[in-house]
A and B are shown apart, each in its own frame.
Chain A
């Protein structure tokens, strides 16, 4: 292995460890010095971003991915390397993670100013940045799993950041436990693969020879188990209810973790193992189904929600479902490109919402609108841009990526998937613009004391990341062709039915905007959605399709009453009783034998005589 001093690519790769150093420094040394902590964290991520940019430019057109590896575990026929794999997918993800981490951390300097846990926040942000970046460039699946867990840990720490609030700690626990469930199945799948292929490196796992060594049923099983991890991490059905609750954390955390990067880790894993997973057609169909269900379910939940952050959380679940649909339809580029554009505009949506949440102290969109949220120009404009991208309106980036996914879906045999995708597109633009119009046209305007001064440093600290992300959202769509070449290695566009699909999808998106305007944007609008009028439907969606109730019931009845109580009874009545009974038996038999010690001579004499008779008989007959 070449030294990092000589190989600039290796140096840039090791720049991903800078945030880890920052994490340690902040936790150990600079907890009292807030500005220093913030500065260290931002500098570390900036360094990583520079490294990522350098790597991206340097290896843009490489034919072969670069690998740096060291032997980690070698046991008989098993070999688990530890190292870095720099190919198109990982470099893109690395750059994305580093970039958005930097923007969110700069934004947090303004958002978290004055908070007592300021240094702790930046320490955890650095921990997350390090873990996520290393996850992106991991070489071995077990190494990726280690960083996957670390990302889950930092998510728990950041969701429950304001730990004095009980709801925040509950949400953190819920997130951790739910993703952990997925991780169990992920690990079992990994072990299955490891045992059969013998090497845990990702390139080996994706190669055809390795896959030929596993028989198809086992391959499908492993693929489904690994997808279990994706379901947990990317909040797909049925493990999706932790993500809305995760909005208890600070808004920058929601922007970074729960929209752009951590939940995207699941989709990223899918893209990573795409050659491996796509070999099992049955598994891909299951993935398609789960993605579709998540997408539709989450969209319906978003339609009726009043909490601005919850709406974007449901939207994240829905868009991740869309990405998985794209990947499961067989197109790596579709899912991958949408991952990139979604990261930008979803982070933008959250950060804009964060400005209002920070200013007015409330998540409720009606209250934000009533207190004059629309007068803050930068967040308002950026929100509209991001919502348009989310809805898939041209010429924003979301339009391009959504088109590609819908084209991939159109290429499938069953038109059901495409229909679901189109319905999802309509619902997405509806709920996005519902929020936009609620904020744009408030009913009563409350006069605020004084507006934000434009020259405030805090204003620009939060404003500049918004502007940068908005710029990316506008521009990224036009980078389709070079990105396609980079990620998928070809410029051939799959599916040739662009014409009618373009009109239908754009028409549906525009219809969604129109319905939202009709119900919320007009001067005389009733401000109640068409779904909100139907009370049972509204209840169903607001209660998250009673999924949480189902889980509560499951935990209370099945686990607490049946399993827990059964095990407790078993322990009390069977195991403890057996041991107690044995002790009682010992005591009682002791009492019986003690009776023989009566101290009476006559009995001793009788026993002696009896024994002698027996001995005599023995000698007589033997």
Chain B
């Protein structure tokens, strides 16, 4: 008897909804910080899937992996912020639409 209180499918749906919200946040803002925020949210959605899988199959690896990803996410955000700051210093703008030198 798994300790899940909702069916696995529901958790996946929740994760999918959060993932799409993160995606929406990523693409729909003209602000690089919001891009980072979106990336974080998407990563959190995948974390939910990991935990749900661990609960379903009663394996601790899922939750352990979640902790690892969380740590990586923190590091990644710091690097990302550094990049954003460097871009700002270069071009004076954090609107990704202005970085279009690869445009035809």
B27 A602 Cβ-Cβ under 8 A: yes
A599 touching B100, Cβ below 8 Å: yes
Rounded to whole angstroms, the CA-CA distance of A605 and B27 in the bound complex is: 8
Q: A597 contacts which chain B residues (CB < 8 A)? A: 103-104
Residues of chain A lying within 8 A (CB to CB) of residue B104: 594, 597, 599
In the assembled complex, B102 has its CB within 8 A of some CB on chain A: yes
Which of A599, A603, A605 is the one whose CB lies under 8 Å from B102?
A599
Query: Does the CB pair A600–B23 fall under 8 Å?
Result: no
**With A and B bound together, what is the CA distance between A133 and B51 in angstroms?**
111
Minimal Cβ-Cβ distance residue in A for B101: A599
**Nearest-neighbor residue (CB-CB) of A606 within chain B:** B27
Q: How far is the CB of A573 from chain B (nearest CB, A)?
A: 35
Q: Could you tell me which residues of chain B, from 69 to 104, have a CB within 8 Å of some CB in chain A? A: 96-97, 99-104
Which residues A579-613 have CB closer than 8 A to chain B? 594, 597-603, 605-606, 609
Complex alpha-carbon distance, A601 and B99, angstroms: 8
Q: Is the CB of B26 within 8 A of A600?
A: no
B96 in contact with A601 (CB, 8 Å): yes
Cβ contacts under 8 Å, A602 to chain B: 26-27, 96-97
Consensus secondary structure, chain A interface: helix
Interface residue tally of chain A, by bracket? 10 to 19
State the Cβ distance, A600 to closest chain B Cβ, in Å.
5
Chain B residues with CB below 8 A from A600, complex form: 96-97, 100, 103
> How many Å lie between the Cα of A597 and that of B104 in the bound state?
6
Most B-side CB within 10 Å, residue of A594, A601, A605: A601
Is the beta-carbon distance between B23 and A609 smaller than 8 angstroms? Answer: yes
A605/B103 in contact, CB under 8 A: no
Output the nearest chain A residue to B27 by Cβ-Cβ distance. A602
Chain A min CB distance to B1 (Å):
29
Contacts of B26 in A (CB 8 A): 602, 605
Distance in angstroms from A617 CB to nearest chain B CB is: 13
CB distance from A592 to the nearest CB of B (A): 13
Distance in Å: Cβ of A238 to nearest Cβ of chain B:
68
Shortest CB distance B90–A (Å): 15
- Digitize B1-34: 1 where CB-to-A-CB distance is under 8 Å, 0 elsewhere: 0000000000000000000000100110000000
The distance in angstroms between the C-alpha atoms of A344 and B23, with both chains bound, is 108
Cα A598 to Cα B27 in complex, Å, equals 14
Kindly state the separation between the CA atoms of A602 and B104 in the bound complex, as whole angstroms: 16
Q: Tell me if A598 and B99 are in contact (CB < 8 A).
A: no
Check B100–A598 contact: CB distance below 8 A: yes
Residues on A with C-beta less than 8 A from B101 are 599
- Chain B 22-59 interface 0/1 with A at a Cβ cutoff of 8 Å (1 = within): 01001100000000000000000000000000000000
Q: Which 4 A-B pairs have the closest CB atoms?
A: A599-B103, A599-B100, A597-B104, A602-B27
* A and B contact pairs by CB, cutoff 8 A, 26 listed: A594-B104, A597-B103, A597-B104, A598-B100, A598-B103, A599-B99, A599-B100, A599-B101, A599-B102, A599-B103, A599-B104, A600-B96, A600-B97, A600-B100, A600-B103, A601-B96, A601-B99, A602-B26, A602-B27, A602-B96, A602-B97, A603-B27, A605-B26, A605-B27, A606-B27, A609-B23
